[in-house]
Structure 1
Amino acid sequence: MMTSLLKSLLAAVALCAALGVSAQELKIGYVNGERVLREATPAKAAQAKLEAEFKKRETELNDVGTKLRAAMDKLDKDGPTLPEAERSRRQRDLSDQQRDFDRKRRELLEDLNQRKNEELAAVTERASKVIKQIFEQEKYDLILQEVVFAGPRVDITKKVIDALNAGK
């Protein structure tokens, strides 16, 4: 089965052949999107912003988790000496606390993922604008983002990162 990338490349080559453009005249570029999101200053700033935004909630949740584990360990240790009614009450309380902790952890992860997606979308949009700008200015025929192999001659990832870092 052909991937969409291979189909796109074959279509571009067929179009060039139909227009009489040789492979030597075809200008192709490649951008490593993962590298852009890992190395570009706006991506690093977005990551730092997310860490700062969620650090307090994460710390509080970790503290609650530590206290909950300590309470469970104490119940395991003291359980055999406690009256049945007291032990059952503490188990119910700890079970309720565990459910509340799990709910808060899920909410934190959902909020973090949502914000991460928002920040990544903003960086990706800026990167797309930079790629389009490079495409137009340097008169590329085709710029690809997801490929199996790409040689250094067609890799324009550094140009994109530098342009993003420069705020273009």
Structure 2
Amino acid sequence: MMTSQRTIARLLAVLVAGLCLSAASLAQSIKIGFVNTERVLREAGLAKASQAKLEQEFSKREKDLQSLGAQLKAASEKLERDAPTLPETQRLTRQRQLVEQDRDFQRKQREFQEDVTLRKNEELQQVLEKANRVIKQVAESEKFDLILQEAVYINPKHDITDKVLGGLNSAK
């Protein structure tokens, strides 16, 4: 009985050693790449064009809001200066008007921010979809087994961000 247990133990040891060797050889044959998504979104021509498009699209509304904010501030300062000399009813009326104007301004600012965020996300999604297509093309053409887009640490030799940027910038 002892002999059969020793035989089983030897077989298990050989099996474990074989698995360790195959795992080590498998790990050496895996080709891994890394893409810095933040850098792609910052440096790709498509991303820069999207940013310029958004700035143009929202610049008029932003200027209008800034103008409205300046008017509100001026009205508030004027009320502070004039308050001591104004009759109570007139002062209260102007304060209420100022509160209403401020509420309207805050609402417009919120709507503006929501619209900007929505459009940014739409543009970002388009850039990411195109970047992912380029990443897949690079992976297939260079026979990568795995492409990571987020990592705590990456050896620079695995970074293919420049290739992806080149592919994105050359694509129409």
Aligned position for 2:101: 97
* Residue 73 of structure 2, aligned match among 58, 69, 72: 69
Determine which of 61, 69, 76 is the counterpart of 1:57.
61
Structure-2 residue corresponding to 1:140? 144
1:21 Cα offset (Å): 4.5
Matched, 1:162 2:166: yes
Q: Does 1:44 align with 2:67?
A: no
Q: How far is the alpha carbon of 1:152 from its aligned partner? A: 1.3
2:114 aligned residue: 110
In structure 1, the partner of 2:34 is 30
Larger relative helix fraction: 2
Instruction: Tell me which amino acid in the other structure corresponds to 1:51.
Output: E
Matched positions, count = 152
Task: After TM superposition, give the deviation of residue 23 of structure 1 in Å.
Answer: 3.0
Query: Take 1:104 and 1:57, find their aligned partners in 2: how far apart are those partners?
Result: 10
- CA distance, structure 2, for counterparts of residue 68 and residue 161 of structure 1: 45
Runs of 4+, deviation exceeding 4 Å: none
Unaligned runs of 5+ in 1: 1-13
Q: Partners of 2:149 and 2:25 in 1: how far apart? A: 23
Q: Per-residue deviation at 1:71?
A: 0.4
1:31-53 deviation per Cα after TM superposition (whole angstroms, max 9, x unaligned): 00000000000000000000000
State the shift of 1:151 in Å.
1.3
| TM-score, normalisation: structure 2 | 0.85
**In 2, Cα distance between the equivalents of 1:66 and 1:115?**
26
Percent identity over paired residues: 58
Measure the CA separation in 1 of the matches of 2:25 and 2:134: 26
2:82 maps to 78
Return the match for 2:130 from 126, 129, 132. 126
SS of 1:55's partner is helix
Structure number with greater Rg is: 2
- Whole-Å Cα distance in 2 between the matches of residues 140 and 167 of structure 1? 21
Q: Please provide the CA RMSD for this pair.
A: 1.5
Question: What per-residue deviation string (whole Å, max 9, x for no partner) do you get for residues 110-129 of structure 1?
Answer: 00000000000000000000
Deviation at 1:24, TM superposition (A): 2.9
Unaligned stretches of 5+ residues in structure 2: 1-18
Structure 1 SS opposite 2:112: helix
Using the alignment, how far apart are the partners of 2:106 and 2:84 within structure 1?
Answer: 27
Listed one character per residue, the Cα deviations across residues 56-86 of structure 1 (whole Å, up to 9, x for unaligned) are: 0000000000010000000001001000000
